[in-house]
């Protein structure tokens, strides 16, 4: 394996160069997100910068696979699935597709990840959970990618958390994802010169689902519970927002500006909201570090408290940011 600093530097540098190239490509091809009533930005902005993160993560994955004496089944499901999710997102960035077409392709990729997890573990439960988390995280990261730096910073924090939980090749992949997000972030935060695009947001969600699948296959239940903590802020915001839209009879699959983070961006600005979410993610990292050797009853209780606090904060901040 390469040295840690070389690995991180190569991933971050590759993502930075790739994002710069993606921005040039988007500007030449007029691949721009236009402002509108269902958008949180005010000026036309290039999209598709997430392709750089995808290239880095896929390249890192292929390198890690090449170092294996025997190819693990989970990698056989993860890498093709990641490419499929990125490809349908890239297509959607250029020529918008129906949400149902995207969902069908995402389901194929989720099945590939589930098959790999099931084959490697020899059990059906990791396969079922891997399918569900892939479908959820791909779409949650798409829903939550609406303001500067939010989706990529949360992905970076989540990847860093998994780097501490996992071992072997999957730890190195988590580190590559972390560094790639850092390489992209200066182009997207605090001022956005390019957006992730669907190619980036969906791929980030799928990459994190792959890391969670690796945790489901290899880690004991206590650590699997901790592996759910990095997603708390996004799952709470997306979950409450989606439930509210369904209860109100709205077309929940269409674009909107009803998330907590979107209300906050209108009230206090993109940067402050992203920093609030980053602070919450930092608490998750701290808990994972402190509780990594504790029993399931402790980690499970911590997870329930964390999600409960997240729910309380969601309602409190929503009232303040809408007030």
Residue 322 predicted with pLDDT over 80: no
Q: What is the pLDDT of residue 40?
A: 65
Q: Do the Cβ atoms of 142 and 114 come closer than 8 Å?
A: no
Confidence band for 271, pLDDT divided at 50, 70 and 90 = very high
Residue whose C-alpha is closest to residue 209's, from 70, 69, 111, 65:
111
pLDDT over threshold 60, residue 323: no
Alpha-carbon torsion (138, 140, 144, 146), positive or negative: positive
Instruction: Give the integer Cα–Cα distance in Å for 159 and 157.
Output: 5
Average pLDDT over residues 90-102: 92
Q: Is the pLDDT of residue 257 over 90?
A: no
How far, rounded to the nearest angstrom, does the alpha carbon of residue 20 sit from its chain's CA centroid? Answer: 21
Nearest-5° angle of CA 68, CA 19, CA 25? 120
In terms of Cα–Cα distance, which of 292, 17, 56 is closest to 172? 56
- Tell whether the model's pLDDT for residue 103 goes beyond 90: yes
Q: Which pLDDT value is given to residue 289?
A: 93
Structure tokens at 3: 């040295």
Tell me what the pLDDT averaged over the chain comes to.
93
Q: In sequence order, which ranges of the chain are alpha helices (DSSP H)?
A: 4-28, 51-66, 73-94, 99-121, 124-143, 150-165, 168-184, 197-218, 221-226, 232-247, 260-268, 270-291, 296-322
% pLDDT > 70, the chain: 97
Specify the DSSP element, H or E, that contains 253. none
| Reported confidence tier of residue 272, pLDDT bands at 50, 70, 90 | very high
This model's pTM is above 0.75: yes
217-245 as b/e: b if 16+ CB within 10 A: bbbeebbbbbbbbbbbbbbbbbbbbbeeb
Predicted local confidence at residue 36, as pLDDT: 64
pLDDT tens-digit series, residues 177-204: 999 999 999 999 999 999 999 999 999 9
Calculate mean pLDDT across residues 143-165. 95
Tell whether omega for the bond before 190 is within 30 degrees of 0, i.e. cis. yes
Question: pLDDT tens for residues 195-228?
Answer: 999 999 999 999 999 999 999 999 999 999 999 9
Neighbours of 253 (CB within 10 A): 14
**Three-class SS of residue 303?**
helix
């Amino acid at each position: 394996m390469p040295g840690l600093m070389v690995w991180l530097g190569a991933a971050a540098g590759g993502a930075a160069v790739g994002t710069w190239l993606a921005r040039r490509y988007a500007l030449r091809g007029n691949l721009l997100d236009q402002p509108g009533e269902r958008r949180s930005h005010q000026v036309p902005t290039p999209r598709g910068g997430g392709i750089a993160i995808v290239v880095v993560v896929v390249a890192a994955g292929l390198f890690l696979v090449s170092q294996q004496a025997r190819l693990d089944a989970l990698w056989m499901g993860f890498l093709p699935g990641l490419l499929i999710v990125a490809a349908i997102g890239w297509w959607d960035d250029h020529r918008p597709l129906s949400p149902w077409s995207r969902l069908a392709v995402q389901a194929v990729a989720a099945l590939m990840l589930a098959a790999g997890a099931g084959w490697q573990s020899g059990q059906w439960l990791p396969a079922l959970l891997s399918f569900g988390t892939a479908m959820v995280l791909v779409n949650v990261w798409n829903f939550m990618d609406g303001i500067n730096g939010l989706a990529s910073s949360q992905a970076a924090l989540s990847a860093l958390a998994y780097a501490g939980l996992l071992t072997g090749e999957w730890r190195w992949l988590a580190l590559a994802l972390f560094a790639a997000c850092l390489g992209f972030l200066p182009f997207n935060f605090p001022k956005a010169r390019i957006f992730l695009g669907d190619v980036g947001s969906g791929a980030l969600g799928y990459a994190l689902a792959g890391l969670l699948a690796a945790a489901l296959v290899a880690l004991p239940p206590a650590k699997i519970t901790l592996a759910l903590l990095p997603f708390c802020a996004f799952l709470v915001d997306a979950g409450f927002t989606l439930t509210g839209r369904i209860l109100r009879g709205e077309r929940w699959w269409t674009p909107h500006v009803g998330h907590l983070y979107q209300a906050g961006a209108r009230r206090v600005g993109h940067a402050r909201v992203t920093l609030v979410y980053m602070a919450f993610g930092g608490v998750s990292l701290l808990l994972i570090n402190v509780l990594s050797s504790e029993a399931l009853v402790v980690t499970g209780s911590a997870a329930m408290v964390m999600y409960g606090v997240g729910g309380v904060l969601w309602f409190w901040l929503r009232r303040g940011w809408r007030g």
